[in-house]
Amino acid sequence: MRKALLTLTCAGQFMVLLDNTIVGAALPDMQQRLHTGLTGLQWIVDAYVLLVAMLLLSGGVFADRFGRRRVFLTGVVVFTAASVVCSLAPSIGWLIAGRVLQGVGAAALSPASLALLTAAYPAPKERVRAIGSWAGFSGIGLAGGPLAGGILVEAFGWPAIFLVNVPIGAVLLLAGLRVLGESRNPGAPPIDVPGTVLSAAGVGAVTYGLIEGGSRGWTSPVILGGFAAGLVLLAAFVVVESRVPTPMLPLRLFRQRLFTVSNTAMVVVGFALMGSSFFFSQFFVHVQGTSILVAGLRTLPTSLAMVIASPYAGRLAARYGFRVVVTAGLALAGLGLLALGFVHADTGYGNVWWRLAVVGIGFALTMSPLTGASVQAVSPQEGGLASGVSSTTRQIGAVLGVAVLGAIVHTRESGGASFESGLDSAFLTAGAVTLACAVFTGLWLTAARTPGDVRAGRSGGRAVGEPPLTTPAGRLTS
């Protein structure tokens, strides 16, 4: 029975992660068939990522409070139904609405699947192996997305990338009704509805300003009003979270320097990785003139490099420390992105693939150690919350990356530059931000020293000569 549960939860996570990368391969076809521009493509991606980012923490609480099986199956139903809406969308507006629903389903399905696993495998060693399988399926979904998307779009058009979720979702629902048992945490905290609403509205308003600013004008009243509303809503979120008894995001955690620095760096990782990969397929199709299938194949080095390198990130962090591995990974990814900024229409693929691979390796070395650092910064009882915050900050960075780098390309094109020149500027910006973050983590990614640490002979939050701690969650949530 536990093996069946493991298979179901892994398949659910696979479906969610596949959707993260398969859409990128279809963007050029969507642009052509839906007659939309860069702004529309940004909303297709960010509508999904924004909802996942803002509801992820609440999804875990929902699962614990109202039943993990119930929330998991509800997430499957919503995600599958939303996929049908996306595939049948007659216009860009309907497609964006479907993507919003997909984000709601994913935000319920993903944390509930992990909660089911942890409840079914109480023994630490068995739980580590189960979460390892769960994370491995995540990697397969990420790596397989570009190739699967290229094949499906080339053969059937962009709606096929959403229809592929329907049979997976149907099997998950039918098998889940038979196999999954219900479990819940009676002591789970109440849902922080004000915090969830304010965070989603605030980040959404800022995202609206960033995406629409290029076409509407950065000084237009609508855009300035969007930015102002976003800042007010986010300020209100901070006030509410500091006063409610059970906040979705306890602000006191950010008093720990290791927690603050690791999550700040995770925002940059999401920003640079998602923001740059948004343009990979578009570069190959619109700049180098390849087919969508070939573009999907050519973007594989990034995701494959991440899948191959990710398992080693935790081991390296255990040996050399979070700061060394994360800083090296960010530096490597930043250099790879800068190198992509000098790729042009006539650059041969033999001189492109290694740049994509360097980016993938660099980011693979950062994500699980950053999550591990976030988890280590808090008490053992708050490890799950810290891991969830780390995933959320990465998603927020992804939302901002697509919005900001897209705005850079749009602004360059509005000024008369070519799409190729706009992409160069976007990649160079992502690379510069990533390198700046490498300097930031190199200086600050340690736990603040306390008088107790000094008396105990500790440095950087751990004993001198003691290897840094890593946790299963830190290694496996990349």
The C-alpha atoms of residue 381 and residue 346 are separated, in whole angstroms, by 54
Residue with tokens 């891991």, as numbered in its chain: 387
Length reported for the chain: 478
Query: Token pair for residue 431?
Result: 């690379």
Quickly list DSSP for 259-301.
Answer: HHHHHHHHHHHHHHHHHHHTTHHHIIIIIS---HHHHHHHTHH
C-alpha atoms less than 13 angstroms from C-alpha of 167 in its C-beta half-sphere? 3
Largest Cα–Cα distance of the chain, in whole Å?
A: 67
- Smallest CA-to-CA distance from 254 within 238, 240, 272, 269 is with 238
Structural contact between residues 260 and 378, judged by C-beta atoms closer than 8 angstroms: no
Q: How far apart are CA 180 and CA 12, in angstroms?
A: 13
Non-local CB neighbours of 325 within 8 Å, separated by 6+ positions: 313, 316, 317, 365, 366, 369
Tell me the C-alpha distance between 72 and 355, whole Å: 38
Which residue shows structure tokens 């237009």? Answer: 220
pLDDT for res 173: 94
Crossing angle, helix 38-66 and helix 193-216, to 10 degrees?
Answer: 180
Tell me the C-alpha distance between 430 and 270, whole Å.
11
DSSP 357-411: HHHHHHHHHHHHHHHHHHHHTS-GGGHHHHHHHHHHHHHHHHHHHHHHHHHHHHH
Region label for 217, one of left (φ > 0), alpha (ψ between -120 and 50) or beta (otherwise) = left
| Residue 158 DSSP symbol | T
Instruction: Give the CB-side neighbour count of residue 200, counting CA atoms within 13 A.
Output: 23
Nearest to residue 253, comparing CAs of 61, 447, 60? 447
Q: Coil, strand, or helix at residue 188?
A: coil
Type of residue found at 6? L
Instruction: Give phi and psi for 157, each to the nearest 5.
Output: 95, 170
Q: What is the pTM of this model?
A: 0.87
CB neighbour list of residue 55: distance below 8 Å, 6 or more residues apart: 103, 104, 107, 108, 196, 200
**pLDDT value at residue 387:** 80
pLDDT one digit per residue (tens) for the chain, 478 residues: 678 888 888 888 888 888 878 898 999 999 999 999 999 999 999 999 999 988 888 888 888 888 889 999 999 999 999 999 999 999 999 999 999 999 999 999 988 888 888 788 877 777 767 776 777 666 777 778 888 899 999 999 999 999 999 999 999 999 999 988 888 877 777 888 999 999 999 999 999 999 998 788 889 999 999 999 999 999 999 999 999 888 888 899 999 999 999 999 999 999 999 999 999 999 999 999 999 999 999 999 998 898 888 888 888 988 999 999 999 999 999 999 999 999 999 999 999 999 999 999 999 999 889 988 988 888 877 777 888 888 889 999 999 999 999 999 999 998 899 999 999 999 999 999 999 999 999 999 987 654 444 333 333 333 323 333 333 333 333 3
For residue 208, which of 20, 86, 92, 47 has the smallest C-alpha distance?
Answer: 47
Distance CA 140, CA 119 (A): 24
CB 363 within 8 A of CB 471: no
